[in-house]
Structure 1
């Protein structure tokens, strides 16, 4: 698994988790949903988000190694 794909999975999971917590626990969890959405929005312009830094430090590869058959 690579950073780009894992990043989208984590963002989707955090969004669904915060929506469930807002529904079952407290509407204040919607602030976390907004935080995730804001990070996704700014990463569209900058191609960087804080989770990418954590994933890089955890050793997740950035992209697959190019394997070309001749």
Structure 2
């Protein structure tokens, strides 16, 4: 079994265990976010092109929306609030220019599209 499929199975097991751990949603969300950030960095290492902050933000937002939608469908409808939060955060970053995950990606050393173009 490949490393990628093991991680998918681990994630699916995590989703199934959420029903029994209803009081620890925050801990599970933190673990899920750590998994996503690690997944993004591994994709960056696999791809031939450099993963930029902007591309990583699209990937993170889409994964968060898909995951929260699936969780609201199969676990608890309150997960749809997280989908709303992601959408609100995307909207406010359009107007203010501040995006918390973008700031975090930059702090972790990822380059923006402009920096990648300047380096070429």
Please give the TM-score of this superposition, normalised by the length of structure 1: 0.88
Structure 2 unaligned blocks of 5 or more: 1-50
Residue among 35, 44, 65 paired with 2:117: 65
3-state DSSP class of the match of 2:117?
A: coil
Aligned residues: 67
From 7, 20, 25, the equivalent of 2:75 is 25
Query: What RMSD, in angstroms, separates the aligned Cα atoms of the two structures?
Result: 1.0
C-alpha distance in 1, partners of 2:104/2:60?
12
Whole-angstrom CA distance in 2 between matches of 1:19 and 1:39: 16
Runs of 4+ in 1 over 4 A off after TM superposition: none
Moved more, 10-19 or 54-63: 54-63
Deviations 1:20-64 (A, max 9, x none): 000000000011001100000011112221101111111111221
**Distance in 1 between the 2:74 and 2:108 partners?**
32
Listed as ranges, the gaps of 5+ residues in structure 1 are none
